[in-house]
Amino acid sequence: MLIAGNWKMYKGPAETAEFCVELKRQLDELEAVDVAVCPPFASLAVAVQILAGTEIAVAAQNVHWEPEGAFTGEVSASMLLELGVYGAIVGHSERRQYFGETDEMTAKRARAALDAGLSVIACVGETDAEREAGETEDVLRRQVSVLEADVNLVVAYEPVWAIGTGKTATPEIAQEAHALIKSLLDVPVLYGGSVKPENAAEILAQPAVDGALVGGASLDVESFGAICLAASRS
C-alpha cells in the first residue's frame, strides 16, 4: 500500500520543513504502508534533508526525458537523483490540461526516469465529458498502452472530474477502473481524486486499489497522516 501526497504548487522550503518535521512525528510507528510526499521543485532539497533516515520517501512532480540540454524550466532524472529524490510523478492531468502534455510525452518521461533509477507514478484518467460519452475504457486503454511494466512503476487512476471538485468516484467506480488498468498492465494502481480522511478507508478497502495519490488533503499534515493511518488498517 502506497500513500503519496501531491502538493502541486504549494509549500515553499520553510513550510515544507515544518510539515515534514510534524509528519515524521505522526508516522513514527506506522507499519505496512509506504508513504511519499511530492513537493514543488524548490522544496525538494529540504524535504529530503528532514526525512533522511525515515521510511518517508520524497518524489518530484515531474521529470524530463533528456539527461540535460536546452529545456528551460525542466529538471532531469539525474538532477533529482543527485538531490536524493526517490521518484517522480508523470502525466498528471494538470500537466496534460495546462501544458499540453501527451500520452507519448508521459511515456518518454516515465521511461527516462525508470531507466535512471527513479520510481515513477504515471497518472491516467478520463475527463467528465469523456465519462459522460461512455469513453472511459477507451481513454484508459489509450493512456495505459504507451506505458511499459516495470518493477518501479506505479499507475495512478485519477478521474479528472474528481480532482479538486469535491466529487469522488464511488468505491465501485474506482474498483472497476483499477481492475481494467491491471488487466492491461501488471503494476500497482493508486486512486487519485479528492481522497480525504472521511472516504479513504472505503476506497482503500477495494481489492484492486493499492493506495492513493492524495491532492488537497495532503497539504494538511493532520489529514494526510489520517489517510496514512487508514491505509495501515485496510
pLDDT at 167: 73
pLDDT at 162: 80
- Domain 2-233, CATH among 3.40.50.360, 3.60.90.10, 3.20.20.70, 3.40.50.10070: 3.20.20.70
CA distance from start to end of the chain: 9
pLDDT at 151: 97
Task: Show Cβ contacts of residue 119 under 8 Å, excluding neighbours closer than 6 positions.
Answer: 57, 59, 86, 87, 88, 113, 152, 153, 154
Handedness of CA 55, 61, 63, 69 (dihedral sign): negative
C-alpha to C-alpha distance for 195 and 117, rounded to whole angstroms: 29
Active site residues per annotation:
92, 158
| One-letter amino acid of 41 | F
Show me where the domains of the chain are located: 2-233
pLDDT at 223: 98
pLDDT at 33: 97
pLDDT at 156: 98
C-alpha to C-alpha distance for 136 and 149, rounded to whole angstroms: 21
Query: Residue 177: which of 227, 126, 216, 121 has the closest Cα?
Result: 126
C-alpha to C-alpha distance for 215 and 229, rounded to whole angstroms: 17
pLDDT at 71: 98
pLDDT at 163: 75
- The pTM of the full predicted model, rounded to 2 decimals, is 0.96
pLDDT at 52: 97
The continuous run of DSSP H or E covering 57 comes out as strand 56-60
List the pLDDT tens digit at each of the 234 positions of the chain.
999 999 999 999 999 999 999 999 999 989 999 999 999 999 999 999 999 999 999 999 999 999 999 999 999 999 999 999 999 999 999 999 999 999 999 999 999 999 999 999 999 999 988 988 999 999 999 999 999 999 999 999 999 888 767 777 889 999 999 999 999 999 999 999 889 999 999 999 999 999 999 999 999 999 999 999 999 998
Find out whether 153 and 123 touch, Cβ atoms under 8 Å. no
C-alpha to C-alpha distance for 230 and 234, rounded to whole angstroms: 6
pLDDT at 193: 86
C-alpha to C-alpha distance for 202 and 186, rounded to whole angstroms: 23
Question: Please, what is the angle between helix 197-204 and helix 221-233, to 10°?
Answer: 20
Grid cell, residue 53, equals 533516515
pLDDT at 100: 96
pLDDT at 234: 81
